[in-house]
Structure 1
Amino acid sequence: MTMPEKTRQYLADPAWADLWIRVRKRLETTGHKVAGTVTVDLDDDAAQRLSGLLGQRIVVGRRRLRLNELDEALRDSAARSGLVPVVAQLTGGPLRDRPSERLARGDTLQQLWDDVERALSGNGFGAAEWAQPWVQWLHQSTLLVRGGSRAVAEFDIAARALAVVLADRRTRRMLGELANTVGGTAHALDPDQLAGRIAVRGLGFALDTADPQTPRDRIELWEQVGVSVDRISGTVLTWGFRPPGNDPWSRMMQARADLGLISHLTLAELSVTPHELVPATTIVSGCENPQVLQRIAESGIDRPAVCFSGNPSSAGQLVAERVRLRYHGDFDWPGVAITGRLIAVGAEPWRMGAEDYLRAVSAGIPRIQLTGCPAATPWEPGLQQEMERVGQAVHEESVMDDLLGDLWDRT
């Protein structure tokens, strides 16, 4: 995928040159594995640009950078590509896959796929119609080829996990319990482990579902075969939610709203609640920063609001899908990227237009330089253009009075 020219020019600036060279070397050495770190020396320009891309303050000097964070930031930016294709475009062409090259020099690669077929047969999948598309995906993704000496063992863990859950879907299991059974450790099937990635994709082929793209998608896929994943750590903050039902949970939320309490809702809790979290005609106001929700609560505004605390958790995504949501976030590149993701699941923009941005900038707020890779604003393309032209970020806290005013107008 070719990057927009303006984005390519931004990333190709000489300030980045040493970083991309070091990243390329690391990726070629590990077979394009987006993991581990690189150490680089950053001057003022490089540190500032990197701060904008990652959405966090990076200081000048020798720094160790995580490749997975660079990868996620580039995917969320206007580049719309991961680390491997971006580095290839910026450093002169496709990256070498040195581990694969070493495998190709002998019989190791053929041995790998022979071992995969034996693992399939050994776990009862030799004749399964969905097994061959799974193996074809493994060929195309090169996950196993890049998996090194543990590749076959990781595939066998994934295959054994599928054998267990597909043979008995009625028994409830925790993912960690299943992982310990088939892999000897409770983390063997975690999403950042090779066996976990392979198992989830294999499960998708077995159940004839698409490759899960979000944490919530992965959770729901495992749950189709009776496997429970962590559903309590990711929360979403809510204020003034009064579900219209008369069930115990709805009455509890109504009482919390009457008491003026903010509620932390987990995915586990949301999965057993009535579908209507607020009356169907009610508009819920969403924000990015918890300080905004705190001010709403302290002001005594009796209108429902939700705070996603940055990128929405699985619980946050579920709330966004189940209410009529209008959303406001930061006017910086990570902030408008989050806005775009929530609009994609049905939210309406709330004071997130070009005029809103320009009004905030002209109000004399503290000047914060807009850094990082531009993010698209498809709900209003003029917003991206104005943000690039002005070059100033506007955080939610700076327009708090306007947001509170909107809420007061509706009370």
Structure 2
Amino acid sequence: MSGAEERLRRLLGGEETAWLVDRVHRRLEQGRPPTGTVTLATATPGQRRAIEVLLGRRAGAGASLSVSLDDVDRMLRDSGVTDGGLREAVVRLRGPIRDLAGENAAQAAAWKRAFARLDALVADRSELAGWRSWLESTGVVRRLTATADEARTSLDRLAAVLARLPSPGLPLGRLAAETCGDAHALDEGRPLATLALSAARALAGLPYAGEGGADARRAAWAAVGVHLDDLSSLVLCLGLSGDGRTPTGRMLSAAKAAGEPCVLTLRQLRRHERPIPAGLVRICENPVVVAAAADELGPACPPLVCGGGRPSAAVWRLLELLARGGAKFAYHGDFDWGGLAIAAAVHERVGFAPWRFDAASYAAVPSAAPLTGRPCPSPWDPELASAMARRGVRVEEELVLPELIADLGSAPP
């Protein structure tokens, strides 16, 4: 070790001056010059003596210790300890200086590239704008992926998934295989599945984080037409005409003759390719309507389909078969923002006339239950959403059950 090197380590390489070297090192990494004054709030006697030896004069009194970096730089140069002054001294003691600003800029550019394809898709899908902001504010993508490169792979796949949504009657595994090249890419627990499910909730008008559990996950995917499997997706109906030529048709015929509700799986409906003939089909949101109609009307109940909240893939498939059979639809649901969001999805998909589901019907029902949640439009009757916003109460479907059953009972055969 040379004399200059030994002297440098004696002056600045000890524990008592480590704080000073560390401060200068951080400044240099941040792209700031080693000038000005640094202060140690509470200095030990040893730290104060080390600075006095370094500068060759008293370091002041009091608890704090202030050091002029310009004076240290000048001393190192004038004494011949380092020709490059304080910067050179810190490099020799701590190693090369990182360019944190450059690293941060490069990292920011990498993350921007990671989101590029997704952002291009969101730019054309205004319904996803809030969800995209949520991704940014929560940092969920950075938590789920280790690097920007890994995030780019996941987000590119996510964009491919979203380009296919909503997509009625599509199995989740097939969606994953066709968009990601991996039939299990959207399986529960995978980072991409977490992101895709939050996007599905956004498209369905649900909270982005959503509830946990298999039922909530199944419902969120079903809201955009994706089903997890053919057997767990169900639809409840009553009074639908069947036929004697297919298994599903025979089930419907038997249930209608008995006046009993019928539960169909997506598997059954996917295998039933014939249109289901019908005239006016009423759609309700809650199973209690179907149960009451079966109790009161039995075999005389006209065609009734229950959406069961967010329509499942089985619900959409049944409505599709009914529409192909010439059916027209009338809809009733809960008078709350969630109910309007569900109805809007049904209206967009198959169209309907409101069944006691307009502004006048809402105003006629007393309720003290407060209306909460995010407002949603009612395209079949724009005044309904405005009336709900003004009144601020929700009306559950059960409160008008007698009127609904009376309508069903008076329907022409």
Higher relative contact order structure (alpha carbons within 8 Å, sequence separation ≥ 6) = 1
Larger gyration radius, structure 1 or structure 2: 2
